[in-house]
Structure 1
Amino acid sequence: MPDRLQVLLRALQERTPPHRAALEAHAERLARTQLPWLAAHSAHLQERFRAARLPVHAWRDLPPTGKAEMMANFDALNTEGVTLRAALQVARHAEDTRDFTRTLAGRSGPLTVGLSSGTSGTQGVFLVTRAERLRWAGAVLRHLLPPPWPGSLLRPHRVAFVLRAEGGLYRSVQGRHLQFHFLDLQRPLPDLAAQLTALDPTLLVGPPSVLRALRDAGARAAPQRVVSVAEVLEDDDRDALQAAFGPVVQVYQATEGLLALPCPHGRLHLNERHVHFDFEALGDGHVRPVLTDLRRRAQPFVRHRLDDLLVLGDACPCGHPARVVERVAGRQDDALLLQGPEGTVTVWPDFVRAALNRVPHLREYRAVQTGPATLSVTLDPCTPDTRAAAEHELRTVLARHGARHVTLETAPLVLPDLPLAAQGKRRRVTRAWTPPNAPALTPLPPAAPDDLPY
């Protein structure tokens, strides 16, 4: 069957289970097939079960791992016989040449290879088979095209992706009524703004900071839906993009897969038809996901701990039984670790963002912890009024968390005069200071320039 028909079939199969019990039964059926297969074909996963002295059916009790361990054991973890060196060669060559059509040979056939942006300090590599790519494209197509479904398939759509890298995920479904356009962030901002205006897409996909920069550069478009990806979607971003372009929803995905998608009400639902989620409570309503992918086989994710912080929400009026993500609050690596009266206190990034979002007339900011009790805050504009208001709001929220002796250093925000692709993913609140005795991150090995295994 041609790729395009398979993607459309996958999209039509993305039906909503009638209730929570049906969703959990569906996931359990997938797990009974998926976990034994993965344990039989991934040497590293076999070793994890042996080390934990657990049978495969007790996979829910397996100690979690993270991205650093995944990358350190990449060769033994994946089931396609691919080395990290070979995957890096293909992915880095694609990023350097902007040619994202090349694949890597695996045991099951051609593999799509990509790199994450590395905002957590450890850049991830992902492998996707043809079957996984078609299933992924079908799920995204089902949830991103403007409702109603499936009538939206019968209307022509021009989809604009404004991204750092184009993985070829949607090329197979392109047709007369559905056209995909990749707007490369390596191009100058005025050129991108003109290209977006000329295209006037019906669906616009990109990081919120990039889409706001395009708006400021004069881009004009009236898409039926704007899809925020790759960054935390904050309220000010949502309001600005909605005023400039149209209704805004978001998608939550990472190296680890397609994790949450919007419903017709615009709320973000976990992708529990394909991924099992456990959660570790971190306080203040924040949880950290531990996921097990029930579909992907080239690169197993079993009890894999993410660095992201989520706030889960109440049931959605759309009726979808998958849990709602109220906020993607940031990364755990960005949590501020400050001194309190009884030791170190944690201040989550979204509390800092909420404080600075209350500052009148503040357009943009960055807050970086640079020492055990020092927070560097850059503001745009940095007037006496915005500086005083920012310091007041920050001291209020820090005191509420028990951090009472923090030095605030304020200065004007100067964004680098670089192409959007070179600026990287926007992170308004970060921690540049590392506590003593913290484990060091494992860097990716350099890729040799020759012998590319195409």
Structure 2
Amino acid sequence: MLDRLTVLAHALGEGRWMFRERAALERHQERLAAEHLRWVAAHSPYTAERFQQSTLSVGQWRDLPPISKPEMMGNFDRLNTAGLPLKTVLEVARRAEVTRDFTPTLSTPSGEMTVGLSSGTSGTQGVFLVSRAERLQWAGAVLRWLLPPPWPASLLKRQRVAFVLRAEGQLYRSVSGSRLQFQFLDLLRPVPELAADLSAAHPTLLAGPPSVLRALLDAGADAHPARVVSVAEVLEDDDRAALEAGFGPVVQVYQATEGLLALPCPHGHLHLNEAHVHFDFEALPGGYQRPIITDLRRRAQPMIRHRLDDVLLLAEGGGCTCGLASRRIERVVGRQDDALNLPSSAGTRLTVWPDFVRAAMNTAAGLREYRAEQTDAAHLQLSLEPDTVSTRTAAARELRAALDRLGVGAVTLSFSPLLADPLGTKRRRVRQRWTPSRPHGAD
């Protein structure tokens, strides 16, 4: 009961952080950062070392050289503030993955810690460590932003939330009660079973990876939630259209091992979670951005100037129609390490972003699903479903026309039937398996 009241208080309190003026939001970030960075530097030896080696004061945190997931994992024992060795955290998290029992936590002098693993799509499997206080605050934010509007009237209605996920944590059990019920549907189970369970759940809110939700829809799942929430994968236009036609209105959440990064506003647009996370960006070719985050609340596993591998396209122009001052994401493009590196017609190399390839392939007549992989300097392997003469012809025509418009030079294409990814694997329609420094199919 106490946990539920705490989560509800956090959910109600989220209204204070929905800033309408950019200057007010930035002042709020400054206040949080001043206190948070001092605490983290005093309790995280690795973070203190980063400041010392850079000869920077805590107040100069914006100038701190960023780190990425490999550095975080390599220094995990001295980065986390709970005194937990990575070996112990991995043992508990991996045991939960095998047994499918995600209830175990770790007791520390700082309190109970929830642990888990990322999917490891980048080649480096990440681990997350969340304290009880952070878990309750996180659940409150999710509750406030994801329940179908209007708020708080949605709390007065009976809500049935179905999560189709690879792993279940303690996050949502804290909120479950007579009016708000959560059901975890393990996506490692056979699709027909999941489809039947989803139909029986009659959810008012449905959340899961778009490729999995679409597979459930194709398997005959019958559900009519007030809102569908896309998580864990890039939400592509064809998936959005199919899910909206089959289930209901679709919004998306941008969440990773590194934190809760963006949430949908009442108008359905995806806003950066800037009331709790500070974002810097590194410019990439084509107007895309790579985020560097500083979580202003998370203490058990600090995220200070942490560079993500994601590629984003931020919305241009004025603010959102909802009136919020937080910046809006036009599109989560994918991972930077999945950008293709192809020869140009001028003899140089071109970066081709995943969404450019997806846009071309989605126009190929008769093609239901595909995977495009660069396996050599000038070679793309296209795996198609269905793999027929007509779909090969259509895919080759659309992709070559798109690459020609971009100025890509001679590229060879090969074809094969599309094999299903292992259960629980994030779908990546565009994959980079070759770079000049990592030749011939290294993953």
Secondary structure of 1:171's aligned partner? coil
Q: 2:211 aligns with which of 209, 234, 259?
A: 209
Aligned-pair CA distance for 1:280 = 0.5
| 1:221-300 equivalences in 2 (<5 Å) | 221-300=223-302
Secondary structure of the residue aligned to 2:356 is: helix
Moved more, 88-97 or 396-405: 396-405
- Greater mean deviation of Cα atoms: 320-329 or 404-413: 404-413
Alignment of 1:14-93 (within 5 A): 14-15=14-15, 16-93=18-95
Aligned twin of 1:321: 325
Q: What is residue 197 of structure 2 aligned with on the other side?
A: 195
Tell me if the contact between 1:77 and 1:300 (Cα under 8 Å) persists in the aligned partners.
yes
Match of 2:13 in 1: 13
SS state of the match for residue 204, structure 1? strand
Hey, what's the Cα distance between the residues in 2 that align with 1:414 and 1:345?
Answer: 29
What residue number does 1:381 align with?
A: 386
Asked if 1:400 corresponds to 2:421, the answer is no
Q: Percent identity at matched positions?
A: 66
Q: Which secondary structure state, in structure 1, belongs to the residue aligned with residue 90 of structure 2?
A: helix
Match of 2:127 in 1: 125
Amino acid at match of 1:146: P
1:286-312, Cα deviation, whole Å (9 max, x unpaired): 100000000000011111000000000
Distance 1:79 1:350 in 2: 38
**Secondary structure of the equivalent of 1:190?**
helix
Question: What does residue 306 of structure 1 align with?
Answer: 308
SS at match of 2:284: strand
What is the aligned partner in structure 2 of residue 165 from structure 1?
A: 167
Structure 2 residue aligned with 1:390: 395
Contact residue 341 and residue 435 of structure 2 kept, 8 A? no
Instruction: State the one-letter code of the partner of 1:401.
Output: L
Map Cα deviations across residues 163-199 of structure 1 (whole Å, 9 max, x no partner). Answer: 0000120101110000000001222211111111111
Relative distance call for 1:437 and 1:97 in structure 2 (3 A) is: closer
SS in 2 for 1:64: coil
How many residue pairs are counted as aligned between the two chains? 436
CA deviation digits over 1:107-132, x for unaligned, max 9?
31010001000111111000000000
Indicate which of 316, 326, 339 corresponds to 1:335.
339
Matched residue SS, 2:278: strand
Could you tell me how far apart the structure 2 residues matched to 1:6 and 1:111 are?
Answer: 17
Matched letter for residue 215 of structure 1:
L
Mark the runs of 5 or more structure 2 residues left unpaired by the alignment. Answer: none
8 A Cα contact 1:334 1:429, kept in partner: yes
The CA deviation string for residues 125-156 of structure 1, in whole angstroms up to 9 with x for no partner, is 00000000000000000000000001100000
| Separation in structure 1 between the aligned mates of residue 108 and residue 401 of structure 2, nearest angstrom | 55
Partner of 1:114: 116
Secondary structure of 2:96's counterpart equals helix
RMSD: 1.5
Highest RCO, 1 vs 2 (Cα 8 Å, sep ≥ 6): 1
Is residue 90–residue 113 contact of structure 1 (8 Å, CA) maintained in 2? yes
Deviation per residue, 1:197-251 (Å, 9 max, x gap):
1111000000000001111111100100000000000000000000110000000
How far off is 1:414 after superposition?
3.1
CA distance in 2, matches of 1:367, 1:437: 18
Secondary structure of the structure 2 residue equivalent to 1:322: coil
In the alignment, structure 1 residue 4 sits paired with structure 2 residue 4: yes
Structure 1: give runs of 5+ residues left out of the alignment. 444-454
TM-score norm. by structure 1 comes to: 0.94
Q: Which amino acid aligns with 1:46?
A: A
Q: Secondary structure at the match of 1:93?
A: helix
Quote how far apart the aligned CAs of 1:437 are. Answer: 6.2
Q: Aligned to 1:89, what secondary structure does the other structure show? A: helix
| Counterparts of 2:253 and 2:402, CA distance in 1 | 29
Aligned 8 A contact 1:346 1:401 in 2: no
Any idea what the Cα deviations from partners look like across 1:251-297, whole Å, max 9, x if unmatched?
Answer: 00001000000011111000000000000010112100000000000
Which residue of 349, 352, 364 maps to 2:354?
349
Equivalent in the alignment of 2:429: 428
Between the aligned partners of 1:299 and 1:67, the Cα distance in structure 2 is: 12
Q: Which moved more, 1:337-346 or 1:224-233?
A: 337-346
Q: Deviations over 1:63-91 (max 9, x none)?
A: 11100100000001111100000000110
Which of structure 1's runs of 4+ aligned residues deviate more than 6 A? Answer: none
3-state SS of paired residue (1:284): helix
| In 2: Cα distance, 1:79 partner to 1:328 partner | 31
C-alpha separation in 2, matches of 1:186 and 1:292:
33
The TM-score with structure 2 as length reference comes to: 0.96
Give the Cα separation in 1 of the matches to 2:436 and 2:204: 47
| Counterpart for residue 107 of structure 2 | 105
User: Could you tell me whether the CA contact under 8 Å between 1:372 and 1:435 is conserved in 2?
Assistant: yes
Give the match for residue 371 of structure 1: 376
The one-letter amino acid paired with 1:97 is T
C-alpha distance in 2 between matches for 1:372 and 1:434: 7
CA–CA distance in structure 1, aligned partners of residues 45 and 382 of structure 2: 47
Partners of 1:195 and 1:174 in 2: how far apart? Answer: 19
How far does residue 436 in structure 1 lie from its aligned partner after superposition? 2.1
Q: For each residue in 1:312-338, what CA deviation from the matched residue of structure 2 results, as whole angstroms up to 9, or x when unmatched?
A: 014210001100001000000100011
